[in-house]
Structure 1
Amino acid sequence: MLEKGGAKVLPVIPQLIIPIKTALNTRDPEIIAITLKILAALVNCSDTIGEALVPYYRQILPVLNLFKTKNSNLGDKIQYSQRKNLNLGDLIQGTLEVFEMHG
């Protein structure tokens, strides 16, 4: 839907906010990572969606603030979550940059 939807996604933004907020409030790192990837794809699918999400930032951003510093520091060890793109701190930073560019 996000790849082919384009402008058809814009009218359903208000209906998507409650499930997105619920997913973020689970505070489960895997669910938050998936939700962040979906949010980034949602904003990238059309030019107007970033602006349409601005009124809902108050509901989305507080949970991101809790996890923005959650980067794992392993020293010299290999971090395998980096390959799967599951590092929450980096995902949150990337999603916020997408929000800033499009909204």
Structure 2
Amino acid sequence: MPMRIEAIEEVIFENVWEKNMKVRRQFMCSNNLTIVVTNIKSRELKSATAVIKLLGLKNMNVLSRKVLAYAFSGNFRTLFVHFAVDVNDPYASMLD
């Protein structure tokens, strides 16, 4: 049985959307500010607006416009909210 050798492609922002959900979540968590919310009811979060409201951000808030993506864990009990690269500590303090 011949061994199958695949080239490992480097994951960068331009190709991360072509990868599976686990690779995307790992990439986003390691390169972007990420907030993890546990024990949620995912059925109530059907839109990006619902996620922004869960975090307590208003639509006109600067930080609400910086939400890059959000994803659920496999059991839909954990929410990962990923922010844009330029979001740093001063913006993160708005969540307190």
Q: TM-score, normalised by structure 2?
A: 0.30
Greater relative contact order (CA < 8 Å, ≥ 6 in sequence)? 1
Normalised TM-score (structure 1) = 0.28
Of Structure 1 and Structure 2, which has the larger fraction of its residues in strand? Answer: 2
